[in-house]
Structure 1
Amino acid sequence: MFAIVGAAGKVGYSTSLALRKAGLPVRAILRDEAKAPSLSEIGCEIALADLQDPAALARSIADADAVQVILPPPLRATDAAGEMRRSIESLAEALGQARPKRVLAISDYGAHITEDVGMPTMFRVFEERLGQLYAHKIFLRSAEHMEGWGLVIPVAIASGILPSFHDPVDMKFPTISAPDLGLIAADLLQQPTTGEDLQIVHAEGPHRYGANEVAAALSQLLGRTVEAQAVPRSQWKKSFERALSPSAVELLINLYDAHNKGGQIDIEPQRGEVRYGTTDLIDALRPLLPPQ
């Protein structure tokens, strides 16, 4: 039995679908029952549990041989870092009770960095806590998701300007399509357990891109010119606060500061392997555009 925590998300659904296509039993663990039908349709068993309810989580993953866990950033929470820490502890407590043979945790590029770099630092805490579990552990560190550009595509369509917090806009960085990450996770879950207690795996797309390449892909899809333009750092806070809580804004500002130094939010040197997705940027962006 493969238990997938957060199975309704892009990554979790992709993992669940791949495992079901391979004929394997999957228990989809959800917080919202309304999201169950799509997973039931592909043959998943459904379990309901809140991420911060360790008793319910432990029951939902009981008797599973392998468990995939994900730590969603609570971007509107009053205390985003505090809520993430509570979710980490809840997951660790539940896994400690259930004692699955294998745990795959979706982590983040930059989780190895010891200084505070915002969001990746929360995933370093995640890895450190799960590292205490008596199970074979796979930390699947993900590059930035291509689908994240969907938040600013409406601005690009309306103005012809693609706002970017990556600066300079010609700096290329690792990125991956979220469904590809789920496929990589599904493949890792099906591999024989190695003799190692811990595996580190990095996941990114077939190529690295900068904001200029995102703008070029949108230009091609829209049939008109879109230009990437870096958002001045002095405007970051105001821009982020339109949709996020102040505590989440702080995590993202620290993240982009680290990104823009270049080379920090990347593969951990001389540690672990790298898996590559197959989805090109333009194919990940295409579904994010409104119907024409």
Structure 2
Amino acid sequence: MFVVFGASGNVGDATAVRLRQAGRAVRAVVRREKQGDYLAALGCEIVLADLTDRASVAKAIEGADAVQILCPVPRTDPHPADTMRRMIDTAADALRANPPPRILALSDYGAELEHGTGITLLFHHIEAQLKPVMSHLTFLRAAEHMHNWGRVIPAALAAGVLPSLHHPLDKLFPTVAAQDVGRLAADLLMDDDPDGEISPRIVSIEGPRRVSALDIAHTLSELSGRAVAAQALPHEAWTPMLLRAGLSANHAQLIVDLYDTHNDGRIDVEEGVGERRFGTTPLAEVLAALLPHVETAAS
């Protein structure tokens, strides 16, 4: 049995689909029953669990041959770092008590850094907490997800300006499609690793090519038929913009710290460590899939 936490999310959905296509039994773990409807139609067993509740996590991993675990970012939480640490600690406790043969944790570029990385520091925490688990352990570190740009697309199309926290605008940075992360996660979970049990196994993934904020604005212009120009948002405007987007002050600070570190060149693949993989989905394909949802919401 392959247990996939966060199975209704962009990455988890792709993992579950890939595993089912390979004929594997999948237990899809979601927070709300309605989230499991599509996955149940694929033949997944649906289990409800809350990562802050150890008993529900323990029940979800019963009899598992492999577990994919993540720490979702609670977007509306006034204290997201505290909540994420609690979720990580709860999941790690349950996995230590009943370790499955295989664990894959979804992590991020920069997770090896111990301080100053904002929200990425929570992925450092999940790696640190899971390392003592006696199991074959894989950390799948992903670059920034392309679909995250969907949050600013409506405003960008309306104003013709794409605000960017990436400075300078022509700086190339790694990014990846969520579906490529999910598919690779499934493949790694099914990989028997015939060359030996290296644990933790660290695998990093990014897209087929690095992009800049200028590239994203240009691609959005071509896809939408509207002129969109990238704009480097002044540092003093970062927090007000994030607050207007509905983030709490604590969450906004985590994002500011992350992009400060990004712009210093410290968030990247950890050179010389583990394996590197490259997704095949281009930026244009991801943005093209997002546009109809944006236009429907605006109409």
Q: Which letter maps to 1:59?
A: K
Q: Which letter maps to 1:231?
A: L
1:255 counterpart = 2:263: no
Match of 1:114 in 2: 114
Q: Distance in 2 between matches of 1:67 and 1:50?
A: 15
Q: Which letter maps to 1:200?
A: I
Q: Which letter maps to 1:15?
A: T
Once the two structures are superposed, the pairs formed by residues 104-143 of structure 1 within 5 Å of their partners are: 104-143=104-143
Match of 1:282 in 2: 284
Q: Distance in 2 between matches of 1:21 and 1:267?
A: 30
Q: Distance in 2 between matches of 1:79 and 1:244?
A: 10
Q: Distance in 2 between matches of 1:98 and 1:34?
A: 28
Q: What secondary structure, in the 3-state scheme, does the structure 1 residue paired with 2:103 have? A: strand
Once the two structures are superposed, the pairs formed by residues 17-56 of structure 1 within 5 Å of their partners are: 17-56=17-56
Match of 1:65 in 2: 65
Contact 2:157–2:226 (CA under 8 A) maintained in structure 1: no
CA positional deviation for 1:159: 1.4
Match of 1:229 in 2: 231
CA positional deviation for 1:10: 0.6
Q: 1:208 aligns with which of 203, 207, 210?
A: 210
Contact 2:19–2:25 (CA under 8 A) maintained in structure 1: yes
CA positional deviation for 1:66: 0.4
Give the TM-score normalised by the residue count of structure 2: 0.95
Q: Distance in 2 between matches of 1:222 and 1:80?
A: 34
Q: Which letter maps to 1:58?
A: A
Once the two structures are superposed, the pairs formed by residues 57-206 of structure 1 within 5 Å of their partners are: 57-193=57-193, 194-206=196-208
Q: Distance in 2 between matches of 1:241 and 1:156?
A: 17
Contact 1:59–1:98 (CA under 8 A) maintained in structure 2: no
Q: Distance in 2 between matches of 1:7 and 1:115?
A: 30
Q: Distance in 1 between matches of 2:47 and 2:224?
A: 41
1:244 counterpart = 2:247: yes
How many residues align? The count is 291
Contact 1:167–1:260 (CA under 8 A) maintained in structure 2: yes
CA positional deviation for 1:219: 1.1
Q: Distance in 2 between matches of 1:13 and 1:59?
A: 21
Q: Distance in 2 between matches of 1:164 and 1:6?
A: 28
Q: What secondary structure, in the 3-state scheme, does the structure 2 residue paired with 1:289 have? A: helix
Deviations 1:88-142 (A, max 9, x none): 0111011112210110000010001122210111110110001110111000001
| Runs of 4+ in structure 1 over 4 Å off | none
Contact 1:146–1:177 (CA under 8 A) maintained in structure 2: yes
Q: Which letter maps to 2:258?
A: L
Match of 1:9 in 2: 9
Contact 1:109–1:143 (CA under 8 A) maintained in structure 2: yes
Q: Which letter maps to 2:14?
A: S
CA positional deviation for 1:225: 2.2
Structure 1: gaps spanning 5 or more residues: none
CA positional deviation for 1:80: 1.1
Q: What secondary structure, in the 3-state scheme, does the structure 1 residue paired with 2:67 have? A: strand
Contact 1:63–1:98 (CA under 8 A) maintained in structure 2: no
Q: Distance in 1 between matches of 2:71 and 2:36?
A: 19
Q: 1:271 aligns with which of 263, 270, 273?
A: 273
Give the TM-score normalised by the residue count of structure 1: 0.97
Q: Distance in 2 between matches of 1:116 and 1:224?
A: 38
Contact 1:64–1:100 (CA under 8 A) maintained in structure 2: yes
CA positional deviation for 1:223: 1.8
Q: Which letter maps to 1:19?
A: L
Q: Which letter maps to 1:261?
A: D
Identity of aligned residues (%): 46
Q: What secondary structure, in the 3-state scheme, does the structure 1 residue paired with 2:77 have? A: coil
Q: Distance in 2 between matches of 1:156 and 1:123?
A: 30
Contact 2:217–2:229 (CA under 8 A) maintained in structure 1: yes
